[in-house]
């Protein structure tokens, strides 16, 4: 996840940074993606064209790098998986930081990264406008703080859904709470675009606590289990918590789905058909083997599949997991520069000017990388003062 050059071509649209130095000169360059439904491009493709049968529902297979290629309405997806050591008195790594490029540490030395953090790993304050971040935690903790005054600690299955809309500044730090044992941190961060009508929506901060997130469990004829965790959308009896009110996912016809599917070794699961003309991608990120219809999906591969055809998924000899991202394309021009995603170059320039002028509400916290007390549990305080305690 190196800081990208200012201009990216459309076929590399998924490779964008989450924190970028904001200067007046930086506003001059932007990424332009043509409007309309994006089709799979680039990478390693082994699938043949689809002509009806369930077995041929796979359209494209592409190997995954550090950042995963996405299709409209999604902009970005990254899987952070860091084997952090025990924490020190500041909740940073109780390990030498010598040899790391602090402030820009993405190399993965010793199996973990400081990212933009210099004491605690993570992402100190940085702005966003024009889209949403969906942060799906699997292990470890995230300490959130933002320019509206909201703050939280969440992790271990919790999800934060943040509509940046007109503009927000937030920090996402990974406190290493345990001082005697390792502190693994694993999460997905997904960027979901907003249509032009909602790019200036008021920022909205939502927490989906793990106890409120439903799963759908199936067993194949051999009794082997597949568990689908529904973060957005619905599958059978499992319905996700409501997304933020101005999210593309809040529109019924958008058919946005964010699911993870965990397979027991050898388990078989049929991914049901959805509406036609949706973008549907399966990210096989854990496991040694997967078959999708008649196609073998190698480890760490994205499979783009037809949305209107059911597809049989069969896990290999080890446990496996998929991330599913599905949705109807927004189909509008995408102009992106670092933390801002708009429809025109002029709107990008305005975003930089607005951020320099207003700070999107300013920064009410004593440091750019705030963390909570080591003894604090999972909680959220919203901008209006409303408090939530995780169950």
Q: What is the mean pLDDT of residues 151-166?
A: 98
- pLDDT grade for 354, boundaries at 50, 70 and 90: very high
Question: How far is residue 144's CA from residue 120's CA, in Å, rounded to a whole number?
Answer: 13
Q: With contact defined as beta carbons under 8 Å apart, do 35 and 331 qualify? A: yes
- Which residues are CB-contacts of 284 (< 8 A; sequence separation ≥ 6)? 290, 297, 298, 299, 300, 301, 302, 303, 320, 321, 322
- pLDDT grade for 38, boundaries at 50, 70 and 90: very low
Q: What is the 3-state secondary structure (H, E, C) of 7-59?
A: CCCHHHCCCCCCCCCCCCHHHHCCEEECCCCCCCCCCCCCCCCCCCCHHHCEE
Q: Among 2-16, 102-116, 346-360, which stretch is predicted with the lowest mean pLDDT?
A: 2-16
For residue 136, how far is the Cα from the chain centroid?
7
- pLDDT of 165 strictly over 60: yes
Dump pLDDT digits (tens) for 176-200: 999 999 999 999 999 999 999 999 9
- pLDDT grade for 7, boundaries at 50, 70 and 90: very low
Q: What is the mean pLDDT of residues 364-385?
A: 97
- pLDDT grade for 386, boundaries at 50, 70 and 90: very high
Q: Among 32-41, 169-178, 323-332, 339-348, which stretch is predicted with the lowest mean pLDDT?
A: 32-41
- pLDDT grade for 56, boundaries at 50, 70 and 90: confident
Quote helix, strand, coil % in the chain, to nearest 5. Answer: 10, 40, 50
Dump pLDDT digits (tens) for 103-115: 999 999 999 999 9
| Residue percentage of the chain with pLDDT more than 90 | 85
- pLDDT of 35 strictly over 80: no
Question: How far is residue 51's CA from residue 279's CA, in Å, rounded to a whole number?
Answer: 17
Element (H, E) at 240: none
What is the predicted pLDDT for the residue at 240? 98
Whose CA is closest to 39, among 49, 54, 31? 49
Q: What is the mean pLDDT of residues 206-224?
A: 97
- pLDDT grade for 298, boundaries at 50, 70 and 90: very high
- pLDDT of 3 strictly over 90: no
What is the predicted pLDDT for the residue at 36? 40
Higher pLDDT, 79 or 26: 79
Partner residues linked to 169 by β-bridges: 127
Strand-pair category, 131-139 with 183-193: antiparallel
Higher pLDDT, 131 or 56: 131
Question: How far is residue 118's CA from residue 251's CA, in Å, rounded to a whole number?
Answer: 40
The helix/strand/coil state of 357 is helix
Per the rule left: phi > 0, alpha: psi between -120 and 50, beta: everything else, 103 is left
What is the predicted pLDDT for the residue at 14? 32
Dump pLDDT digits (tens) for 237-272: 999 999 999 999 999 899 999 999 999 999 999 999
What is the predicted pLDDT for the residue at 12? 30
Dump pLDDT digits (tens) for 270-290: 999 999 999 999 999 999 999
Strand-pair category, 74-84 with 141-146: unpaired
Strand-pair category, 159-163 with 131-139: antiparallel
- pLDDT grade for 211, boundaries at 50, 70 and 90: very high
Q: What is the mean pLDDT of residues 335-350?
A: 97
> What is the average pLDDT value for the chain, to the nearest integer?
88
Tell whether pTM > 0.75: yes
């Amino acid at each position: 996840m190196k800081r990208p050059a200012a201009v990216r071509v459309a076929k590399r649209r998924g490779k964008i940074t989450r924190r970028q130095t904001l200067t007046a000169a930086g506003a001059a360059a932007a990424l332009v993606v043509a409007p309309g439904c994006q089709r799979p491009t680039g990478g390693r493709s082994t699938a043949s064209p689809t002509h009806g049968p369930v077995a041929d529902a796979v359209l494209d297979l592409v190997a995954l790098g550090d950042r995963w290629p996405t299709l409209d309405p999604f902009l970005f997806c990254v899987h952070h998986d860091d084997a952090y050591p025990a924490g020190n008195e500041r909740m940073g790594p109780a390990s030498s930081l010598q040899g790391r490029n602090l402030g820009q540490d993405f190399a993965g030395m010793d199996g973990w990264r400081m990212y933009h953090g210099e004491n605690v790993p993570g992402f100190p304050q940085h702005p966003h406008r024009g889209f949403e971040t969906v942060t799906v935690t699997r292990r470890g903790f995230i300490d959130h703080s933002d320019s509206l005054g909201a703050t939280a600690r969440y992790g271990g299955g919790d999800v934060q859904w943040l509509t940046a809309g007109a503009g927000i500044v937030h920090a996402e730090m990974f406190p290493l709470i345990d001082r005697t044992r390792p502190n693994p941190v694993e999460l997905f961060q997904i960027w979901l675009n907003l249509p032009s009508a909602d790019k200036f929506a008021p920022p909205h901060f939502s927490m989906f606590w793990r106890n409120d997130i439903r799963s759908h469990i199936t067993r194949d004829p051999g009794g082997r289990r597949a568990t689908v965790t529904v973060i957005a959308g619905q599958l059978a009896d499992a319905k996700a918590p409501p997304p933020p009110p101005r999210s593309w996912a809040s529109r019924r016809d958008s058919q946005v789905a964010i699911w993870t599917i965990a397979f027991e070794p050898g388990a078989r699961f049929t991914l049901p058909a959805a509406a036609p003309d949706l973008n549907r991608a399966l990210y096989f990120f854990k496991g040694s083997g997967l078959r999708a219809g008649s196609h073998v999906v190698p480890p760490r591969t994205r499979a783009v599949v037809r949305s209107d055809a059911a597809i049989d998924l069969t896990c290999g000899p080890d446990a496996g997991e998929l991330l599913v991202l599905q949705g109807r394309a927004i189909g509008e021009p995408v102009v992106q520069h670092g933390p801002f995603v708009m429809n025109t170059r002029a709107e990008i320039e305005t975003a930089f000017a607005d951020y320099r002028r207003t700070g999107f509400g300013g920064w009410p916290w004593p440091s750019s990388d705030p963390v909570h007390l080591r003894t604090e549990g999972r909680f959220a305080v919203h901008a209006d003062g409303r408090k939530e305690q995780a169950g």
